[in-house]
Structure 1
């Protein structure tokens, strides 16, 4: 998974690969694998000015189950016609296509959101509507419409990864992954995004009973830290 334009959000990428890596470690097997892809295989730079060396070029990407696009809203392919044709061909051959945060822009420009509903981050909503007035959008932070996966923000990418882990490895592994990252709840596909105002609620505890026992012990323990 993972196609990257320059100035993509490295936080979105981190929430993808680190969450799946944790799932593999907890499950004790390689249930997930991922590759970093760029259009021509050249180095890409994130919005935090951190350089990433891709594993392969887009033309060499095959046998993928998912391809998630990460980009800035103004990103475009260096050679739009062949690159967009390639991702459309991948979609026709069963690859599930996704856009994370601003990654919905190149996904839409490739024609892969035509006839689909997508999730758009609130800060890009006006620009997206202006460029793609005929595309349907939703306020849900995660939207899965047939073979199209769109998420509005880096944190929503984490939630989507949890959903994918749950589908493949079950609830117990998913719960432990969430606990590793101290994630109090998993947002569902019907969870609406917020633009400016936030409602704070007490998080529900998601850890299994054995983890709660350990947490309570750590909270009460007053001895040397090395003995915990």
Structure 2
């Protein structure tokens, strides 16, 4: 049975600021903001207000080419109760000192500061996630862990703390917003919003490990999902096929036949693809040497790694990194 809001919750009307960085993902942006929008007509009174903030006031382009209008910029020193940074894969290369200063100042003032999708890179670079738990997209975990050892990564879909919040990206931002609505105004309103969007709140506390594997692979074979999980958690040194088979209590031949039937390719090739995707994340988002990345992803030497990388991605790792060296956005002169 849904609980009613307390008088203190009813009186709240949090002011939300959404800092949309260039090339932000529209899916994550909408998934975060729409539940708050729906809470206003579904509640007894308007529950939220929000403002879009850009690095500069004016249009901000999303990764799909659509634009939204930012009403103000960090230079205007807007004040909010909750600030969400929404960014795609460029968040580790956007370098606006003014925005970081504003976020730090708002955090000191008491605002709840957080991020959706790879916006976690942006606020972590500002030092705002040190000592906090953090959820981030699975593809970005390796580079995030390397760059920010003081941040405690978690396998949850989202994290909501009193002063910080993060989500794994995509529709997990929707689940996180529902959690915030419940904390702000009670379970009844959060449930009404969830029902309005025909959304199942069963995901609220789920560990995204199994969910992510099923969603990413489309597999239903639990044993083969476990095999892929073993591959992803054993990069250096990589497990041998017979070791994986043994952990699944299968013979090597039986494992390889079943894996090929489930995925369409042999396990050794699938495993190599996982390691190369991890390597690309490290090449593009860390300062590790190519040789260090090779060993971290289970390759015996940098030469063989570079050859495999070029075959897979059409570019050598060193060249791939050079293409991304320049910051995407910096402060205006």
Q: State if a TM-score over 0.5 links the two structures.
A: yes
Gaps of 5+ in 1: 201-228
Contact 2:159 2:176 (C-alpha < 8 Å) held by counterparts: no
Larger helix percent:
2
Aligned residues: 199
1:187 aligns to 2:231 (yes or no): no
Counterpart position of 2:41? 25
Q: How does 1:71-220 map to 2 (within 5 A)?
A: 71-75=87-91, 80-188=96-204, 190-194=205-209, 195-198=212-215
CA-to-aligned-CA distance 1:15-34 (integer Å, 9 cap, x gap): 22221111110114211011
Relative contact order (C-alpha < 8 Å, sep 6+): which is higher?
Answer: 1
Deviation >4 Å, runs of 4+? 76-79
CA, structure 1 residues 145+185, in 2 after alignment: closer, same or farther (shift >3 Å)?
A: closer
* Offset of residue 38 of structure 1: 0.6
Counterpart position of 1:47? 63
Contact 2:135 2:167 (C-alpha < 8 Å) held by counterparts: yes
Please give the alpha-carbon distance, in whole angstroms, between the structure 2 residues aligned to 1:83 and 1:63: 13
Counterpart position of 2:54? 38
Structure 2 length-normalised TM: 0.56
Contact 1:118 1:145 (C-alpha < 8 Å) held by counterparts: no
Give the secondary-structure state (helix, strand or coil) at the position aligned to 1:16: helix
1:5 aligns to 2:17 (yes or no): no
Please give the alpha-carbon distance, in whole angstroms, between the structure 1 residues aligned to 2:39 and 2:198: 14
Gaps of 5+ in 2: 1-16, 221-333
Contact 2:121 2:144 (C-alpha < 8 Å) held by counterparts: yes
Structure 1 length-normalised TM: 0.80
Give the secondary-structure state (helix, strand or coil) at the position aligned to 1:15: helix
